[in-house]
Amino acid sequence: MNEIRIITVDGPSGSGKGTLAQRLAAHLKWHFLDSGAIYRVLGLMVDRVDISVDSVGKIAELARSMPLSFDGERALLSGEDVTGEIRTETAGNQASKVAAIPEVRTALLAWQRDYAKPPGLVADGRDMGTVVFPQAQLKIFLTASPEERAKRRYKQLKEKGLGVNLAGLIEEIRERDERDSQRTAAPLKAAEDALTLDSTQLSIDEVFSQVVGKVHETFPDLSGI
Ligand code: DC
C-alpha cells in the first residue's frame, strides 16, 4: 500500500475527539494534526492586530502568512508559546468565527495536507474526513450530548481553578455547534463513510479501545500494536 495512512477524528467540541486523536497518534507513533489549534491561533492574531471578524480579505491574508509552528503540543506564534492563551472559551469562539470564512479555509488547506507523512497521520478537527483528507482510510465522527460536553468542560476548567457557570457553558457550546454546523464552508458533519460514535455514556478508555479495534480491522498489519 503506497498511500499514506490517515485516520480522521471529527466532531463537536467537548466530544473527546482531541484526547482520542492525540492518544491514537501516540499509540501508533504517527503524526498528529490538531487543526482546531490553527484556527485558534488565527483567531488570536485577529484579536491582537485588532481587525474586525468581518474583514474577510485581511483575515485570509493573515491565514496565508501566519508565523505558526508546533513543537509537540506547544503552539508557537513567531516563537512565542501561545498554548495556554488559545485554550480559553473566548479563543474557541473566536476560532469558530474566523473558521466560517471560506477564503481562510482554502488558505489553510495545503498547510494541513502537508502533515500527511509516513508512517501515518491522525488528524483532529471538524472537516478532516469530509474536506481536508477525503481519502482517509479510517474516519471517526465522535459526538456526545451538549449537556455532557459542557459538564466535561466545566470539570476541566474547575480543575484549572477557573470559575465557570455550567448553564452558560451549555449555551456557548450550543452556539458554537450551531455556527460550526450551519456554515456553508466545510460545515461540521460526519463523512458518509465515517464511523459515528456517541461518547455520552462512554469513558475515554472505552472509546479508545473501540477505535483501536477499528484501526486493526482497517490496517491488519498493525494488529500487534
Ligand atoms: O477543535 P477546537 O475546539 O479546538 O476548534 C476550535 C474552532 O475551530 C471550532 O469551533 C471550529 C473551528 N475548526 C474548524 O472550523 N475546522 C477544523 N478542522 C477545526 C476547528
The reply to whether ligand 1 has any atom less than 6 angstroms from the CB of 176 is yes
- Tell which atom from ligand 1 comes closest to the C-alpha of 93: 10
Q: Binning pLDDT at 50, 70 and 90, where does residue 223 land?
A: confident
Gap between the Cα atoms of 139 and 169, Å rounded:
28
132 or 153: which leads in pLDDT: 132
Q: Which of 126, 130, 177 to mutate to test the pocket of ligand 1 (most atoms within 8 A of CB)?
A: 126
CA dist 135 and 155 (Å) reads 36
Q: How many residues does the chain have?
A: 225
Residue 4: pLDDT band by 50, 70, 90 thresholds? very high
88-92, 107-111, 179-183, 200-204: the lowest-pLDDT one: 88-92
CATH number assigned to the domain covering 6-216:
3.40.50.300
Probe residue for ligand 1, chosen from 8, 96, 131 as the CB with the greatest number of ligand atoms within 8 Å: 96
| Band of residue 13 on the pLDDT scale cut at 50, 70, 90 | confident
Q: Which atom in ligand 1 lies closest to the alpha carbon of residue 128?
A: 18
Average pLDDT over residues 127-139: 97
Question: Could you tell me if the CB of 133 is within 6 A of ligand 1?
Answer: no
State residue 160's pLDDT score: 83
CA atoms of 140 and 128, how far apart (whole Å): 10
What is the pTM (predicted TM-score) of this model?
A: 0.94
75-79, 87-91, 131-135: least confidently modelled range = 87-91
Please work out whether the CB of residue 115 comes within 6 Å of at least one atom of ligand 1.
Answer: no
The string of DSSP codes covering 110-179 is HHHHTT--TT-EEEEESSIIIII-TT-SEEEEEE--HHHHHHHHHHHHHHTT----HHHHHHHHHHHHHH
Q: Is residue 33 scored above 70 in pLDDT? A: yes
What mean pLDDT is reported for the chain? 93
pLDDT digits (tens, 9 = 90+) for 96-123: 999 999 999 999 999 999 999 999 999 9
Query: How far, in Å, is the centroid of ligand 1 from the Cα of 23?
Result: 19
Closest by CA position to 122, among listed 108, 107, 137: 137
Confidence of residue 2 (pLDDT cuts 50, 70, 90): low
What is the enclosing helix (H) or strand (E) of 20?
helix 17-28
Lowest model confidence (mean pLDDT) among 28-32, 128-132, 186-190: 186-190
The stretch 23-35 carries a mean pLDDT of 97
